[in-house]
Amino acid sequence: MTMKNLIRFDWAVKRLLRNKANFGILEGFLSELIGEDIKIDSILESESNKDNKNDKFNRVDLLVKNSKEELIIIEVQNNREHDYLLRILFGTSKLLVENMNTGMVYSQIKKVISVNIVYFDLGQGEDYIYHGTTNFIGLNKKDTLKLSEDQQLLYKTDTIAKIYPEYYVIKVNQFNDVAKNTLDEWIYFFKTEEIKDEFQAKGIKQAKVELDILKLSEAERKEYEKYIEQERYEESLIVSNYKVGELKGIEEERKRQEEKQRNEKNKIAKKCLQKGMSIKDIIELTGLSKDEIENLK
């Protein structure tokens, strides 16, 4: 089995990036994505994880609290889940509820940023990075609802969108492998498990050093190899099922065309019979058998 030199990011998130020594890797990626310097205060365990370890709809890979007391969900998803968009919503909603103590006023609710790195085709769209926020637009005037000066002081922000959760969706497989900027350098790594020497994104050089497969212990390496084998097996199943589905589609289309041609020939044969043409002539014209023509009478 051939392997790249660097550990896949999805495995690193679950195993290595919870270590405080590796916070710089996550901080670098988040800083490039969000566009501001991110400092991680701690990696938290979500209450939904504690409640039910096996509930995939509650699980988040990482729950980070940054220096601004904002909560950032980082989830890496390989499985192709049709309801994944609802899962994103569920995750942020549950996180907000979990972090509201009894008697807490709404102004104390922490900001939630949901970062979703998906390795499958989620929805329809040509881009590979999507950012979602909440705004209120007037139905008549088409203006954007704004905070008053008092509300800006209360919420410590100048726009309504910054109060509500923000969502990032990175569709890794849709990236074209051309890194045009420092954020693209990270996505290039996510997709290829490679980091070029000339890359300059925040945290990327630390990732190149710390996520080297050779730094894994023997036990970790075996676990990682098993994970990669399982991912490849699942991917092969998806490809195989797609091929089977494609072949079935071709066969069904062939049958539809044959049925269409048969119906056309039957229509022609019926008209010929109505006009008194001989069965011999109709056979030559349509290619139908004598029995097929006689059954049309």
Under the banding of pLDDT at 50, 70 and 90, the label for residue 241 is low
Q: What is the pLDDT of residue 48?
A: 46
CA distance 86 to 266: 51
Evaluate the CA torsion angle 264, 269, 275, 277 in order and state its sign: positive
Q: What is the pLDDT of residue 28?
A: 92
| Mean pLDDT, rounded, for 12-31 | 87
Share of the chain above pLDDT 70, in %: 81
What six digits make up the tokens of 233?
């097996």
Are 79 and 113 contained in the same domain?
yes
| CB distance 43 to 260 below 8 Å | no
| Mean pLDDT, rounded, for 234-243 | 55
| Mean pLDDT, rounded, for 218-236 | 77
Domain ends where: 180, 215, 250? 215
Residue 38 lies inside a defined structural domain of this protein = yes
CA distance 33 to 212: 23
pLDDT in tens, 92-111: 887 777 766 555 566 666 77
The answer to whether the pTM exceeds 0.75 is no
Are 155 and 276 contained in the same domain?
no
Helix (H) or strand (E) holding 62: strand 62-66
Q: What is the DSSP string of 171-208?
A: EGGG--S---SHHHHHHHHHHHS---TT---TTHHHHH
Does residue 205 register a pLDDT over 70? yes
Are 61 and 165 contained in the same domain?
yes
| Mean pLDDT, rounded, for 161-187 | 91
Question: What crossing angle do the helices spanning 182-192 and 23-34 adopt, rounded to 10°?
Answer: 120
Q: What is the pLDDT of residue 196?
A: 92
* Number of domains composing the chain: 2
Q: What is the pLDDT of residue 81?
A: 65
Residue 88 lies inside a defined structural domain of this protein = yes
Residue 231 lies inside a defined structural domain of this protein = no
Give the torsion through C-alpha atoms of 64, 47, 109, 129, to 10 deg: 50
| Mean pLDDT, rounded, for 166-188 | 93
Residue 31 lies inside a defined structural domain of this protein = yes
Residue 290 lies inside a defined structural domain of this protein = yes
Q: What is the mean pLDDT of the chain?
A: 80
pLDDT in tens, 26-62: 999 999 998 888 888 887 765 445 544 444 444 567 7
